[in-house]
Amino acid sequence: MDSTALMGAVPRPPKTAEPADGADSPAETPKPRRGDRVVQLRAHQTDAGYKSVYSELTRPSIWSRIRTGLRFSGELLITFGLVVLLFAGYEIWGKSAIVDAHQGELSEQLAQAWEPEPDPTVAGPSASPSAPAKPAVHGTPIAGLYIPKFEKEWIVVEGVGQKDIRYAPGHYPDSALPGQVGNFSVAGHRNRATFWRLDELRDGDPIIVEGRNDWYVYQVTESLIVKPSQVEVVAPVPGEPGKKPTKRMLTLTTCNPKFDNYQRLIIHAELTRTQPKAEGRPAELGT
C-alpha cells in the first residue's frame, strides 16, 4: 500500500499514456460558423457496404441535371431579354436623340446656305447672276419638310443613299425640286425620329416644304403600299413613267411594315398654294 494513503492523502490519478511520436491525435470537431447549416451524417449498412443517409443529396440525378439545365436556360433567357430591351430603348430614344442632334447641325448649314446673296450691281463686273445653279452635293441640306399633323419637321438633304439618309430624309436626285412641275420625291427611314407615323396621314392632310424664298403647301391625295421594285411611284407623273408632267407633286417613301423593309409605304401629295416667306409662316404651321 502506498504510504501516502496511510497518511490520509488523496492518491494521484494514474497517468495516461501519451501517444507515441508519429501517432495521430484525435481531431477536434470544428465549430460551425454563424449562418452555417450543420447536417449530421449517419451511416447505415447496406448490401454494398456502409453509406451516408445523406449521400443522395450530393449524388447527381436525372432531376438534378434537369433543374440545372432549366436554371441555366432561365438565366440565358433573362440575359437575352435585357439585350432586347436595351436595343429597343436605343431604337426609341437613343437613335432619336442622335438624329435630332444631326438635324440641328443641318438646320444651321441650311440657314447659312440661304443667307441673302450679294447685290450683283455692287459685286462688280465679275459677278455672273445669270450663271446656272450647280447641282446639290449629296448629303447637303436643300429644304425643310413639315408635317403639322405630327408636329414634326426635318431638314431634307440631297441623295437617298444609306449615308445620305442616315440622319435626315433625302431627295431623289432625278426628281423635281420643291414647287417645280413634276414630282418632288423624298425618302426617309421608318424609325421614330423620321417617318415612323407616315401611315397615319390621310387625304387632305397638309405637308409643308420650305424653300429659300417660299413656302410650298401640299395636300395628301393618296396613300399606298408597293413592292420595292415599283420605282414608278417617284416618276414625274407617279405611276406613269415617261409621261410629261403637268402637276406639281410631292411623294414621300419609307419602309413598310415597321421594323421591316419588304414593302414600301408611299404618300402622294399635290401642291395647293405657294406663299412667299416674306408674308410669314403658313397658317397650317400655326404661330
Supply the DSSP string of 134-201, one letter for each residue: PPPPTTSEEEEEEEGGGTEEEEEEE--STTTTSSS-EE-TTSPPTTSSEEEEEE--SSTTTTTTGGG-
Whether residue 171 lies in the annotated active site = no
The CA distance from 195 to 137, in Å, is: 23
Q: Cis link prior to 257 (omega < 30° from 0)?
A: yes
Query: Of 102, 171, 189, 268, which residue is the catalytic one?
Result: 189
The CA distance from 168 to 80, in Å, is: 31
Burial of 199 (0-12, 13-18, 19+ CB in 10 A): middle
Query: Of 44, 102, 255, 268, which residue is the catalytic one?
Result: 255
Taking the CA of residue 184 as centre, how many other CA atoms within 13 Å lie in the half-sphere pointing to its CB? 28
What is the phi-psi region of residue 81: left when phi exceeds 0, alpha when psi lies from -120 to 50, beta otherwise?
alpha
Query: What does DSSP assign to residue 262?
Result: S
What is the phi-psi region of residue 244: left when phi exceeds 0, alpha when psi lies from -120 to 50, beta otherwise?
beta
C-alpha distances in angstroms, 165 versus 43, 98, 118, 190?
Answer: 76, 13, 32, 11
What is the chain's percent helix, strand, coil content, to nearest 5? 30, 25, 50
Whether residue 268 lies in the annotated active site = no
Supply the DSSP string of 217-231, one letter for each residue: EEEEEEEEEE-TT-G
The CA distance from 152 to 201, in Å, is: 13
Active-site annotation, residues: 189, 255
